[in-house]
Amino acid sequence: MRYTWFMVALAGAVACQPGTGELTDERKAEVIAEVGARNLEYWDAWRAADWDLGMSFYADTPDFIWAAGGTIVYGYDIMEAQRGGFASIASQTYTFRTNRVTVMASNAATVTATGRWSQTDTTGVTGPARSFAWTAVWLEQDGEWKIHMVHMSFLPSPPGTM
Q: What does the pLDDT read at residue 10?
A: 30
CB 147 within 8 A of CB 58: yes
Q: What is the pLDDT of residues 60-96, one digit of tens each?
A: 999 999 999 889 999 999 999 989 999 999 999 999 9
Q: What does the pLDDT read at residue 111?
A: 98
**pTM more than 0.75:** yes
User: How many CB atoms sit inside 10 A of residue 12's CB?
Assistant: 9
- Percent pLDDT > 70 in the chain is 83
Confidence of residue 21 (pLDDT cuts 50, 70, 90): low
Whether residue 158 is predicted with pLDDT greater than 80 in this model: the reply is no
Q: What is the pLDDT of residues 126-140, one digit of tens each?
A: 999 999 999 999 999
Q: What is the pLDDT of residues 103-116, one digit of tens each?
A: 999 999 999 999 99
Fold adopted by 24-154: Nuclear Transport Factor 2; Chain: A, (3.10.450)
The rounded distance, in Å, linking the Cα atoms of 61 and 53 is 17
The rounded distance, in Å, linking the Cα atoms of 104 and 123 is 43
